């Protein structure tokens, strides 16, 4: 079959690539590990002729001054600065802050401050890691827990045993 040298064929023809652009393109392909066949070079050459702006994030030249782009600006817009929240200064937690600091001095060291702390019995005055805390909770309230909660606690203990035995300073 013979090719016809018609106007349709000539309109699809791309002009040959400049030697410097061809050299830059070959280097780019080797750096990025791209496997581009020679028949796609004219399409890439058109990108290079435009100064690489299509692929470089708006940088005008092929070799940019910085190797990264600053990206698009944030799409979240605030219409007004939110009003500051009024804090309640007399909540129970704030009102009793520092109350137990002088119990020993004024009470003759008869009562330990952890006895005055409100909360679960298995957490009062407790210092330890998560595994020790879960074991202590199971020992204190395990028989009174709901079945699903006890099951989840046992799963957590099993996971923490595995983790603590594999990693960390406690190994």
Question: Is position 70 within any domain?
Answer: no
Does residue 40 register a pLDDT over 70?
no
Long-range Cβ contact pairs of 51-55 (< 8 A, separation 24 or more): none
Alpha helices in the chain (DSSP H): 7-11, 19-32, 41-49, 92-95, 103-107, 130-141, 147-166
pLDDT for 114: 75
Question: Is position 34 within any domain?
Answer: yes
Range of the domain at 41: 14-49
Does residue 15 register a pLDDT over 80?
no
CA gap 134, 152 in Å, rounded: 11
CA gap 158, 171 in Å, rounded: 16
Q: What is the number of alpha carbons within 13 Å of residue 101 lying toward its C-beta?
A: 4
CA gap 26, 29 in Å, rounded: 5
Question: Is position 171 within any domain?
Answer: yes
Question: Is position 128 within any domain?
Answer: yes
CA gap 116, 118 in Å, rounded: 6
pLDDT for 76: 64
Does residue 143 register a pLDDT over 90?
yes
Question: Is position 43 within any domain?
Answer: yes
Question: Both tokens of residue 85?
Answer: 């929240």
Question: Is position 103 within any domain?
Answer: no
Question: Is position 57 within any domain?
Answer: no
The whole-model pTM stands at 0.40
Question: Both tokens of residue 170?
Answer: 């406690």
Question: Is position 158 within any domain?
Answer: yes
pLDDT for 153: 98
State the residue for tokens 């600091």: 101
pLDDT for 18: 60
Domain count along the chain: 2
């Amino acid at each position: 079959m013979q090719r016809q040298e018609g106007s349709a064929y000539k309109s699809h023809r791309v002009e040959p690539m400049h030697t410097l652009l061809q050299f830059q393109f070959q280097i780019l392909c080797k750096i990025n590990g791209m496997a581009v066949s020679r028949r796609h070079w004219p399409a890439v050459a058109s990108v290079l002729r435009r100064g690489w702006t299509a692929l470089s994030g708006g940088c005008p030249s092929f070799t940019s001054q910085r190797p990264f782009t600053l990206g698009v600006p944030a799409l979240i817009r605030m219409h007004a600065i939110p009003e500051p929240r009024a804090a309640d200064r007399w909540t129970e937690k704030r009102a009793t802050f520092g109350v137990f600091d002088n119990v020993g001095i004024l009470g003759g060291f008869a009562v330990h401050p952890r006895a005055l702390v409100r909360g679960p019995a298995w957490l009062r005055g407790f210092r330890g890691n998560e595994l020790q805390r879960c074991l202590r909770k199971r020992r204190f309230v395990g028989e009174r827990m709901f079945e699903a909660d006890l099951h989840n606690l046992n799963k957590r203990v099993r996971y923490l045993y595995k983790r603590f035995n594999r990693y960390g300073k406690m190994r």
